[in-house]
Structure 1
C-alpha cells in the first residue's frame, strides 16, 4: 500500500525509477539495492542494508518516507509479498534444477539453466513495455540500433531481423559511421534501440543521449531500470539479472528481442508478406545453397 492505494510490483518499481534522480546520493544507493537485490532488502534489517551499501540506517528509513511509505517495515512487507508470489511461480522449476544437480549432462544442464534465466526474466518483465516498443518501431520513419562491445552481436542480429520486416533499419557502427552524419538522419519520428549491459559502454549511452536531444524515441534493453542508459530512455525494457553479466544475459536478451521482432511482424503483416514476395523473386542461386 502506498498512499492508501494497492500497488503491483511494476507500479512499485516504476515509482522508484520516477523518483530516483530526485533522491539524495545515499538514497539512490538504497533504491539501487531494492531494485537489484530485493531478496537482501526483504530479509535484513535497515541497519544491515545501510552497512551493505555504506549509508546510515536513517538514510534507509528516509528512502522509505520518500516513497510515501510509513517506514522500513512497510517496505519489507511489500517486497516479501512480491517475492513470495514470484517464488511460487518458480517453485516447480527450482525443484527440477535441484534434481539435475550433480549429473553428468553438463551441456544440457547449461541449456536448462538458460531456460531458467528466461523464466526469471518473464516474471519481472512488464509486457506493456514491449508493447510500447513494438508500437513505436512499427510507426517509426527510421530505426537505429546501437550496442557496443559485448552487446554488438545482439545489436547486429536485431537490426538484421527488423530489416527483414521494414526499412530503413540501421546498425550504428562506431568504428566506421560518422556520428555527426548519423545524428543528422535522426528526427522526431526516429526510433532508437540501445542495448546496454554492465559495465555499460559509454558510447551507447552517449549515442542515446544525443539521439534523445534530436527528438528520437529511445528504447533501451538493459539489466537495471536505473542503469546509465535509463536516464535517456522513453521505454526501458528491464531484463532481470541475478548477477550482472552480459554473456549470461544473452539467452534472455535474444528471447526478448525475438518477442519484439515477432510483435513488429504481426503488426506489419501485410508489408512483411510483400517484402517476403520481393525477396523470393531475387536470383538467390548465387547467394544461398539450394536444397
Structure 2
C-alpha cells in the first residue's frame, strides 16, 4: 500500500464505519506517529472507544490484529520521528521508576531480537558471508550513532585477520586512503532511521566508483537500498531518545563467528598473533 492511499483508506466510506470507528480513524490519521508507542488499551482510553470497536476497525482496514496494524504504521512513521517526538511519545506509558524503565528498555531489545530471529533471511546472509570471505579488504561505513557499530566491526574483523577500515564521518580526511583501497574490497554500510545523510553520501561515493556494497539497515525502503548490491534488513525499533542496537551488534557477531569457522586454522593463527601483541604491549589488566 502507498502511504497516501493508506491514510485515505482509514476513513474510506466503503468501510461503513460506525461512530466509534470513525472517531478512532480520525484520531489515528491525526496522530499516526504516536500510534507506534500506544497499545490497544492506551488507544481505548484516549479515544473512549471500546476494544471490540478497535478490533473491528482494524479488521475492516485489512489487518488481522492491532499489532500488525501498528507495525505497518511504524514502518514509515519512524522515518519522520525526531528525537523530540520519540521523547514526548515514549512518556505516554512510562512511569518514571527504575524498574519500569529497565523493563521497557530490555523488553524492546528482546522484541527486536525476536523479530530478527523470526525473519532472518539466511540466503541473503549467506551471500554476504561469501562476499566478505573473498574480499581482500572490508570498508565499514557508519556515522553518527551507528559509528559505534562500525568501530566495533573494524576491531573484530582485524582481530580475525580480515583487513578492515572504518569510515565514521564524511569529512575529507576519511578519504585520504581512498586511492589505496582495493577495488575488489567489500563496503558494508550501516544506517537506521532517520538515516544520516553523511552515511548516504559516503556510500554513494563508493557506489559511483564501482565498489560492491552491502547494506545493513532496518527497512527495504531505506535510502541505502538503491545504492546496495545486497541489502540485509533487521528490526531496530527504538523508543524515547536512545538507539537500540542489540540486533546490529548481533549481526556483526554472527558474521565474525561464521567467518572464524570457515577458516579455523587462519583464525587461530591470527588470534594467537593478537594475543601475543596484547601481552607484549599490555592491552589488558
TM range (shorter): 0.5 to 0.7
Structure 1 residue 112: Cα displacement: 3.7
Rounded to whole Å, the distance in 2 between the matches of 1:52 and 1:107 is 29
> Are residues 183 and 245 of structure 1, via their aligned partners in 2, closer, same or farther at CA, if it must alter by over 3 Å?
farther
User: Which of 111, 115, 126 is the equivalent residue of 2:121?
Assistant: 126
After superposition, residues 154-165 of structure 1 pair within 5 angstroms as 154-165=149-160
> Are residues 104 and 282 of structure 1, via their aligned partners in 2, closer, same or farther at CA, if it must alter by over 3 Å?
closer
8 A Cα contact 1:143 1:191, kept in partner:
yes
Flag structure 1 segments of 5+ consecutive residues without an equivalent: 1-26, 34-39, 54-72, 84-100
User: Which of 230, 247, 250 is the equivalent residue of 1:252?
Assistant: 247
Query: Could you tell me the TM-score, scaled by structure 2's length?
Result: 0.62
Rounded to whole Å, the distance in 1 between the matches of 2:278 and 2:233 is 41
> Are residues 45 and 266 of structure 1, via their aligned partners in 2, closer, same or farther at CA, if it must alter by over 3 Å?
farther
8 A Cα contact 2:170 2:202, kept in partner:
no
8 A Cα contact 1:151 1:246, kept in partner:
no
**Equivalent residue number for residue 34 of structure 2:** none
> Are residues 178 and 275 of structure 1, via their aligned partners in 2, closer, same or farther at CA, if it must alter by over 3 Å?
same
User: Which of 184, 206, 213 is the equivalent residue of 1:211?
Assistant: 206
User: Which of 201, 204, 208 is the equivalent residue of 2:196?
Assistant: 201
1:239 matches 2:234 = yes
8 A Cα contact 2:170 2:201, kept in partner:
no
**Equivalent residue number for residue 223 of structure 1:** 218
> Are residues 52 and 183 of structure 1, via their aligned partners in 2, closer, same or farther at CA, if it must alter by over 3 Å?
farther
> Are residues 289 and 228 of structure 1, via their aligned partners in 2, closer, same or farther at CA, if it must alter by over 3 Å?
closer
Structure 1 residue 121: Cα displacement: 2.0
1:142 matches 2:142 = no
Report how many residues are paired. 218
Rounded to whole Å, the distance in 1 between the matches of 2:238 and 2:219 is 11
* 1:239-283 Cα deviation digits (max 9, x unpaired): 124558894431112112211222222223221111012223336
Q: Max radius of gyration: which structure? A: 2
Structure 1 residue 171: Cα displacement: 0.8
User: Which of 164, 168, 172 is the equivalent residue of 2:167?
Assistant: 172
1:284 matches 2:251 = no
Flag structure 2 segments of 5+ consecutive residues without an equivalent: 16-24, 31-58, 69-93
8 A Cα contact 1:221 1:238, kept in partner:
yes
* 1:179-214 Cα deviation digits (max 9, x unpaired): 554432345411111111122111111111121222
Query: Could you tell me the TM-score, scaled by structure 1's length?
Result: 0.61
* 1:45-65 Cα deviation digits (max 9, x unpaired): 87799x959xxxxxxxxxxxx
